[in-house]
Structure 1
Amino acid sequence: MTDQHNPKPEQDTTHFGYKTVKTEEKQAMVADVFHSVAAKYDIMNDLMSFGVHRVWKKYTIEMSGVRVGNKVLDIAGGTGDLTKAFSKRVGPNGQVILADINESMLRVGRDKLADSGVAGNLEVVQANAEVLPFPNDFFDVVTIAFGLRNVTDKDKALAEMHRVLKPGGRLLVLEFSKPKNELLSKAYDLYSFKALPLMGKLVTQDADSYQYLAESIRKHPDQETLKGMMLNAGFARVSFHNLTGGIVAMHRGVKA
């Protein structure tokens, strides 16, 4: 039994794909997955999505409304696809922070951005989405692409994203979601649980990590549930747009 003086205790267990694990263990388990796949992450993204992930990300960038001089936080930014595009858009007087909890992913992203000649308006920060090391009301735009499903406490992370946004600032969440068509859903399941682990085994010698990724997608909240979570975190004018039949959805919310 809880009351205002004794807040509700944190749950002792959570999910890691289809497995039930201790809450405090999930972060390290997810880290192991991305340490394993970091070097081949971009190659696998192109193979798994047949290159369509680039279209999904371009749509998110367009919907962000990022302008010259803006401050942008790209959470779980990994190898820096969104970060690179935002860096060009905000110009020399803007700022883009690439944040990721995983050191291996950040290293790959930092090297890739340096090789592509990204301007000096970029900072790379190792950070946990649940405890963002940034001040209140700081960013014009926050994005998280294909990262929220790996966060242990999604509500806490969404609250942190709300905190660091300026009033009027925008959050964009690009994530795998639930296909709307039953036939598409069945085909997608077959592809996810048969083809993805096989690709992982052939390209990265790691089938288990891609089995986890397929499972993590199925455990992620559907479109309407995530919309409700964003509203609960304080966002206004929350909407979502299904991409590729709902295999992916882009959610957008504004800090009032």
Structure 2
Amino acid sequence: MDKQQQIIEMFDKIAPTYDSANRILSLGIDVAWRKEACKKAFEFARCEGGAMILDVACGTGDMIIHWRKNATKFGKPIKKIIGIDPSEGMLEVAKKKLENYLCDQKSKNKEPNDGESPAQKSNDEKSCDKKVELYLGEAKNLHMIDSGSMDIISIAYGLRNVVDVSEALNEFGRVLKKDGILVVLEFTKKEKENFLDKITGIYTKKILPLIGGLVSRNYKAYRYLPDSIGGFLSARKLKEELNKVGIETRFIKSYSAGISTLLIGIKR
């Protein structure tokens, strides 16, 4: 089994407990990071006629929900959101979570109708997710997406799990429209460590695997996280790689002593 398939199977195994572990390990602060990612993307994006958004490595659907919430908040209409992930387990969780969220939102916005028949109610429930589509697929092969069709692409904490990063970035460049926006949220590698980095390193290398292992009962999966950060690109190197595929970095911001990085790029 190749390395990429091993990573995919690992996520299949931890999918049922992934959201719970993530909220505990991040103390919920990743919600603010995702919110700012959406806000900055909408500031740069044109999205005339409604945005076409692709969320790569969508996992359990967190970023898709953030796109929906913030589009409404910032008055940006959405034409469609497509989520792609290579893990069937993660997509199963995403499907259920999105159905619950979207149908709940539709119910809140709908006028009461005591005369609604069971058949009408059933049809409404089926149409709750008409603006969201989920596909099984990898970042390096977005064959189901037409070239130059996306206004925004996001990948949140998934790029370091892609073995062939250069192939994935080429695909992002292919499917983005001219002036389209790429949003990357990721745990990037530090080029030089200071004292604070060493302190945060103790958390990611020692405490995080322990807590994640207890919640998921899969210590190996959460031991992988700090290893994947150490083997990933620095923010500077990622910026250089994006430039090679015609995506110019316009915004970079680090969070929590540089543990997480937000990068916004525009396709030239």
TM bracket, shorter-chain basis: 0.7 to 0.9
From 209, 220, 223, the counterpart of 1:211: 223
State how far apart, in whole Å, the 2-side matches of 1:108 and 1:161 are. Answer: 25
From 164, 183, 190, the counterpart of 1:172: 183
State how far apart, in whole Å, the 2-side matches of 1:172 and 1:160 are. Answer: 14
State how far apart, in whole Å, the 1-side matches of 2:251 and 2:40 are. Answer: 12
Gapped runs of 5+ residues in structure 2?
104-127
Matched ranges for 1:190-205 at <5 A:
190-205=202-217
Contact 1:181–1:245 at 8 Å: present in 2 too? no
From 171, 186, 199, the counterpart of 1:187: 199
Q: What is the CA distance between 1:32 and its match in structure 2?
A: 1.8
Return the index of the structure with the highest Cα Rg. Answer: 2
Q: Which residue of 2 aligns with 1:29?
A: 6
Q: Specify the SS of the correspondent of 1:224.
A: helix
Change (3 A) 1:218 1:116: same
Contact 1:237–1:253 at 8 Å: present in 2 too? yes
* Structure 2 length-normalised TM: 0.82
Change (3 A) 1:181 1:50: farther
Deviations 1:17-46 (A, max 9, x none): xxxxxxx70111101210121111111111
Q: Which residue of 2 aligns with 1:152?
A: 163
After TM superposition, the structure 1 stretch with the greater mean CA deviation from structure 2, 189-198 or 79-88, is 79-88
Contact 2:184–2:264 at 8 Å: present in 1 too? yes
Q: Which residue of 2 aligns with 1:222?
A: 234
Report the identity percentage: 33
Q: What is the CA distance between 1:189 and its match in structure 2?
A: 1.3
Contact 1:77–1:98 at 8 Å: present in 2 too? yes
Q: Which residue of 1 aligns with 2:91?
A: 106
Q: Specify the SS of the correspondent of 1:157.
A: helix
After TM superposition, the structure 1 stretch with the greater mean CA deviation from structure 2, 192-201 or 163-172, is 192-201
1:50 aligns with 2:50: no
State how far apart, in whole Å, the 1-side matches of 2:195 and 2:10 are. Answer: 30
Contact 2:213–2:221 at 8 Å: present in 1 too? no
Q: Which residue of 2 aligns with 1:127?
A: 137
The aligned amino acid for 1:149 is R
Q: Which residue of 2 aligns with 1:9?
A: none
Contact 2:25–2:212 at 8 Å: present in 1 too? no
The aligned amino acid for 2:101 is S
From 140, 143, 151, the counterpart of 1:140: 151
Gapped runs of 5+ residues in structure 1?
1-23
**Root-mean-square deviation over aligned CA pairs:** 1.9
1:233 aligns with 2:214: no
Q: What is the CA distance between 1:208 and its match in structure 2?
A: 0.6
Q: What is the CA distance between 1:181 and its match in structure 2?
A: 6.4
Q: Which residue of 1 aligns with 2:125?
A: none
Report how many aligned residue pairs link the two structures: 233
Q: Specify the SS of the correspondent of 1:51.
A: coil
Deviations 1:26-74 (A, max 9, x none): 1111012101211111111111111111111111111111657110000
The aligned amino acid for 1:105 is M
Q: What is the CA distance between 1:243 and its match in structure 2?
A: 1.6
State how far apart, in whole Å, the 2-side matches of 1:25 and 1:195 are. Answer: 28
Contact 2:197–2:257 at 8 Å: present in 1 too? no
